[in-house]
Amino acid sequence: MYEVEVKVRADHDDVRDLLAELGAEPVNAVTQEDTYYDAPHREFAETDEALRVRSETPEIETPENEGGSEADAEPFAELTYKGPLVEAESKSRREVETAVEDGASADAILDALGFDPAATVRKDRERFALDDFTVTLDSVDGLGEFVEVETETTEDDEALEAAREKAYEILRDLGLSPDDQIRTSYLGLLLERESDD
């Protein structure tokens, strides 16, 4: 499966109002901690790949997840591999993920295999469903506020292009410009900021 994602910096208050006008459905609000790993056998920064363990904790008492299921209210962890970007116009890439019973145990396994924790990205997220897409309002520690529009599709070029164009359309409907898209991951942005300090 491939993830098509476009991301821009944006003020969340303005976007929330437009999401409501467009009829977007609140999905949930969560806090995520993503621990990224360096591989012992290749340099992910050079290959444009990523390996992470994500721990997610729901914010149970919020209007955003009021209609959510019991599963939405349970903390969970997942292991994710992200492949290199497959096109220049968006952050589309192969993504493989699986739930893990315990994030700390996944970390211990990766450590035993020689994968070293490289950095941790912490963010608060509000998710909304709109036209088979997820619109996410991210507040990222050390970076600020962002809006992501994403969906999953097949590797087929036409499917990737159609999903990307629809994501652009949603951005424009939210008063945002695809021209302001940021293709660098939050991890990359944090590492850039640290190197500038």
Catalytic residues: 36
Q: How far apart are CA 182 and CA 177, in angstroms?
A: 11
Q: How far apart are CA 20 and CA 14, in angstroms?
A: 10
* Residue spans of alpha helices (H) in the chain: 12-22, 44-47, 103-112, 157-173, 186-196
Residues contacting residue 190 through CB under 8 Å, at least 6 positions apart: 119, 121, 140, 142, 143
